[in-house]
A and B are shown apart, each in its own frame.
Chain A
């Protein structure tokens, strides 16, 4: 099991720290490990499915229509965080540090529109590996604990977001898969927490943490499959989109007809912004090193 070497390492580090500090050294450097969960949707992105448009009775120049819709309840950014970091105390009030943070989340949602007998499912997964340089300030300092505020710049070095949508209506079925590709993106983290001394040179902390990463993808690869009339006709669209803020559309398309009609299309477009936003709780342990 993976956790065994981690636990062993922590115990060894604990013993090392206790031994080193037995000689009365003061410490400016500390390391921390933490875990947590971003559970509040702070305006992250969600996914909406719409059904067919039903036209009502048209009376002369009057017309009306209805369209049912449903969308996922949880948004991009919800998920578990694990991380580790190192910090350096500049003085009694302020320290600077750098964390490596890993966010991972999955969303599964059924998408049913009974009026259209449209049933479907939306499955997405996302993860962000980020480096977060940060600065912490002690807001309230007591003998056994202190309250702090940490402000960090999220530098996402590896971002993944892909989703699939499977939908069925009568004898027609769609299976779409989307995979976004990202470069480096930056965001903002702010945490308000409390750190408590539990042993000499060892503290535990818990914090309310806001994680706000807005990521613009560099490209999109999508495969859109459509099976019509119980499989009597198939359509496949392979889509490649390069994201640029300005330039030429450079639209190119080739189509192969047959029982399976295959269309390959590529073009340039403006990048969407994906909001990995959440507010959650983190908790962890901090160990002072003898340096």
Chain B
């Protein structure tokens, strides 16, 4: 378990901490690097299918949807911090969230009276966030060799990637199996969120300090556009390519313009340009990170 890997690092840092921190003159600034994991994802969006097909009286089936939400995954970053005195300091972090891919699936078996025998769905969502986090920290407790601090920061997410995939397989008796496979890439403007943390900094050796933090990160984003592509196959393939722009106002008119080529025998393609109401995605986590900070005098 990841926490087991982190704990020895914390203990090692604590054991090697010396008693000089409280007597030290504040450095000009700190340079730091850190890494950790978004262990919990309270309030984050999970992955669920666009539609649950085949549910009707007499249907049976099972489902398993992602337990964690957007926000889970490995985190690393670097930053600079400028002490403003004994209590306060300001800083700027560059934070990278390498999202853990979410997976969901279901299988539905309609009643025997239906021509369809089974419908299955598998989906995934992979994502990453690169963010600048300007922040202000306050030392709340200082002792020999260590200090405890809180931090309040603004997450400025400058690069967000999100790829969602979904595949439906429908099998019937005496009919050709139907498969629909669609990928959707969401694109974003700069988005903002909130970062709060409580942490400890302790001396390791000379100007080298160790840090351990628990942070709460709340980032709500709304895609500006999406590109959806894939195919529907039922003995022949129909390629799908859809560019969607999202309307962020509280009211409006969605539009859909599509053009089809080919026919039902030889396959073909559908190309569409749509506008739709915007939607929100919540990328939240409670993260534990450990790191080192180098004091520049």
A residues touching B (Cβ–Cβ < 8 Å)? Answer: 42-43, 48, 50, 61-73, 93-94, 115, 137-140, 149, 151, 186-188, 190, 192, 210, 212-214, 245-249, 251-254, 267-270, 273, 275, 277
Contacts and interface: CB of A to CB of B under 8 A. Distances in A.
B64 interface: yes
A43 B88 contact: no
Interface of B: 42-46, 48, 52, 55-57, 59-65, 67, 69, 87-88, 106, 108, 138, 140-141, 150, 152, 194, 196, 198, 216, 218, 220, 250-261, 277, 280, 282, 284
Nearest to B45: A273
B175 to A, nearest CB: 23
Contact of A210 (B194, B220, B257): B194
B282 A43 contact: yes
Contacts of A268: 63
A69 B253 contact: yes
Given A63-B259, A66-B256, A254-B57, 15 more contacts: A61-B259, A67-B256, A68-B253, A69-B254, A69-B277, A115-B253, A149-B138, A187-B42, A212-B43, A213-B43, A246-B62, A248-B63, A249-B61, A249-B106, A273-B43
8 contacts: A43-B282, A68-B253, A69-B277, A93-B140, A190-B216, A249-B61, A251-B55, A277-B220
Contacts of A270: 46, 48, 63, 65
Contacts of A115: 253
Given A253-B56, A270-B46, A247 B194 contact: no
A69 B65 contact: no
A106 to B, nearest CB: 19
B65 A246 contact: yes
Given A42-B220, A273-B45, A137 B140 contact: yes
Nearest to B284: A214
A275 B282 contact: yes
Nearest to B43: A214
Given A62-B259, A212-B218, A139 B138 contact: yes
B198 A273 contact: no
Contacts of B43: 187, 212-214, 273, 275
